[in-house]
Structure 1
Amino acid sequence: MPRPAAVRAPAVVRFDNLTLGYNRHPAVHHLRGEVAAGSLLAVVGPNGAGKSTLLKGIAGELRPLQGRIELHGVHRRQIAYLTQQATLDISFPIIVHDFVAMGLWREMGAFAGLNRARRQRIAQAIDDVGLSGLETRPIGSLSGGQLQRALFARVMLQDAPLVLLDEPYGAIDAASVRDLAALVRQWHTQGRTVIAVLHDLEHVRQEYPETLLLAREVIARGDTAGVLSDTNLEHARAIAEGRGDDPHAAVCRSDREGA
């Protein structure tokens, strides 16, 4: 008997001729396609390729210049979005416990208190990322790796079906990368959809089955081994440096958002 065809997971995010940018200048343009529920997708590309811009669009922080982003089976309030550390104000006087507890904000609202069950969840998340004993430390006193662990703990408390990670391993120690990558694998095993902007291509090859290669346009999308070919990577670099055939390159070179 013939083997039954594999059932394709439904789309959780769909891009319909999507263009995103700043001050009417495209940073990423004419994206089409979808991300299936339960995907573990890496987004890679040269600096200025539009990677962080794409996450901002999915999260609803940036409105499309053209086209649209459709979410299926998930509301934007159900998205966990881990931004780059550089966007955080670590001088704000907040301790680790309270910083992590912010992951419960959408669940609790502005006025609900932390009952015993929620305090236990916060303690468990802090323990899961290896920060037990540092609950009363100000976040400004943490190392880069410790701060990233606290951010991951906050994401864990959101219990979101769609997780967006923007450079989750930037400027942190190898032990933190290893531990946090294990958490990402766990989220994937649980059926969550994870979309991560990453620079370390070897890490992508080892951990991410699917990859989207951007250079303000889609260079390639699919199986990671095929996407990260020398030919595709050189094409992306050429477009980023203005040597390719991207009609928006001249405009975008002066408007790169840094990711």
Structure 2
Amino acid sequence: MKRDTDVPALRLENLTLGYDRHPAVHHLSCDIASGALVAIVGPNGAGKSTLLKALTGELSPLQGTFRLKAGREGVAYLPQQSEMDRSFPVCVFDMVAMGLWRDIGAFGGLRRSQAARVHAALAAVGLSGFEARQIGALSGGQLQRARFARMMLQDASLLLLDEPFNAIDTRTIEDLVAIVLGWHAEGRTILAVLHDLELVRRHFPECLLLAREPVGFGPTAEVLTSERLAIARRLASDFDDAARVCQRQPERETA
């Protein structure tokens, strides 16, 4: 995939998000360059997952706007694994093949070339031979590999990953990080909600630090300082969940 860095992949302008008029993210403004690899970090309840839900269209802004260069069709979203119903009776092959739904429709069958793409995606994540296994029989790491394979087939230019490495084994984390870095090398734009700050420092060149409001955005080494992390913890602990939607305040200086 060829990089096009002239137009931002994502532009956020005074974006405020919330539930039942209670704000969860305040006045977020930044440009995410095409081909960027960005970690979204912050304390629990800082609004990280809320931001991704808004970008997928699940949540409407309370204030402000965002613009997607690729449009909705160019976005692939990996929600937290805990949101998936593992009791649903579907085999690994069929679950991964759902990544082709834009090509085949809700009731279409797979052509031979499309089935070959599913097998290739499973091989790429180390799940060859698991095609007939029910998803409920998979370990957490195996299921996450299958979900990455499904995402591969969506062939999106903007990838949104919500805690993609949570509660899985170290080997699987290493393998999936390598896949993410491969997507980045192809020129895709990647936003990932992460908790492991050392992993962020090793692999993610840019970082957005949230604590219900932006604390910093820019090069990871400049954002993940002890001072900014302390500010984020304080803002998260002081936040009033019952607060009304506020008016725009002067923007906090970011990296």
Q: Give the counterpart letter for 2:220 in structure 1.
A: T
Q: Which structure 2 residues correspond to residues 144-155 of structure 1 after superposition, within 5 A?
A: 144-155=140-151
Provide the residue aligned with 1:256 in structure 2. Answer: none
Residue 250 of structure 1 deviates from its aligned partner by 1.4
Provide the residue aligned with 1:14 in structure 2. Answer: 11
1:165-202 alpha-carbon deviations (Å, 9 max, x no partner): 00000000000000000000000000000000000000
Q: Percent identity of the aligned residues?
A: 57
TM-score normalized by the length of structure 1: 0.91
Query: Are 2:240 and 1:250 equivalent residues in the alignment?
Result: yes
Residue 78 of structure 1 deviates from its aligned partner by 1.8
Provide the residue aligned with 1:239 in structure 2. Answer: 235
Provide the residue aligned with 1:34 in structure 2. Answer: 31
How far, CA to CA, are the matches of 1:46 and 1:29 in structure 2? 15
Task: Find the residue that maps to 1:11 and give its secondary structure.
Answer: coil
Provide the residue aligned with 2:158 in structure 1. Answer: 162
How far, CA to CA, are the matches of 2:178 and 2:241 in structure 1? 40
Task: Find the residue that maps to 2:167 and give its secondary structure.
Answer: coil
Query: Are 2:202 and 1:212 equivalent residues in the alignment?
Result: no
Task: Find the residue that maps to 1:250 and give its secondary structure.
Answer: coil
1:93-122 alpha-carbon deviations (Å, 9 max, x no partner): 000000000000112112321011000000
Provide the residue aligned with 2:73 in structure 1. Answer: 77
How far, CA to CA, are the matches of 1:252 and 1:159 in structure 2? 40
How far, CA to CA, are the matches of 1:252 and 1:101 in structure 2? 43
Residue 252 of structure 1 deviates from its aligned partner by 5.7
Task: Find the residue that maps to 1:26 and give its secondary structure.
Answer: strand
Q: Which structure 2 residues correspond to residues 1-259 of structure 1 after superposition, within 5 A?
A: 9-72=6-69, 74-242=70-238, 249-251=239-241
Q: Give the counterpart letter for 1:29 in structure 2.
A: H
Q: Give the counterpart letter for 1:30 in structure 2.
A: H
TM-score normalized by the length of structure 2: 0.92
Contact 1:125/1:153, CA 8 A, preserved across alignment:
yes
How far, CA to CA, are the matches of 2:241 and 2:163 in structure 1? 25
How far, CA to CA, are the matches of 1:9 and 1:145 in structure 2? 37
Where does structure 2 lack aligned partners over 5 or more consecutive residues? Answer: 244-255
How far, CA to CA, are the matches of 1:251 and 1:80 in structure 2? 30
Q: Give the counterpart letter for 1:101 in structure 2.
A: A
Aligned length: 240
Task: Find the residue that maps to 1:136 and give its secondary structure.
Answer: coil
How far, CA to CA, are the matches of 1:101 and 1:60 in structure 2? 23
Where does structure 1 lack aligned partners over 5 or more consecutive residues? Answer: 1-6, 243-248, 254-259
Contact 1:57/1:69, CA 8 A, preserved across alignment:
no
1:144-182 alpha-carbon deviations (Å, 9 max, x no partner): 000000000000000000000000000000000000000
Residue 207 of structure 1 deviates from its aligned partner by 0.4
How far, CA to CA, are the matches of 1:201 and 1:252 in structure 2? 30
Q: Give the counterpart letter for 1:213 in structure 2.
A: L
Contact 2:13/2:64, CA 8 A, preserved across alignment:
yes
How far, CA to CA, are the matches of 1:189 and 1:141 in structure 2? 33
How far, CA to CA, are the matches of 2:104 and 2:198 in structure 1? 39
How far, CA to CA, are the matches of 2:224 and 2:236 in structure 1? 16
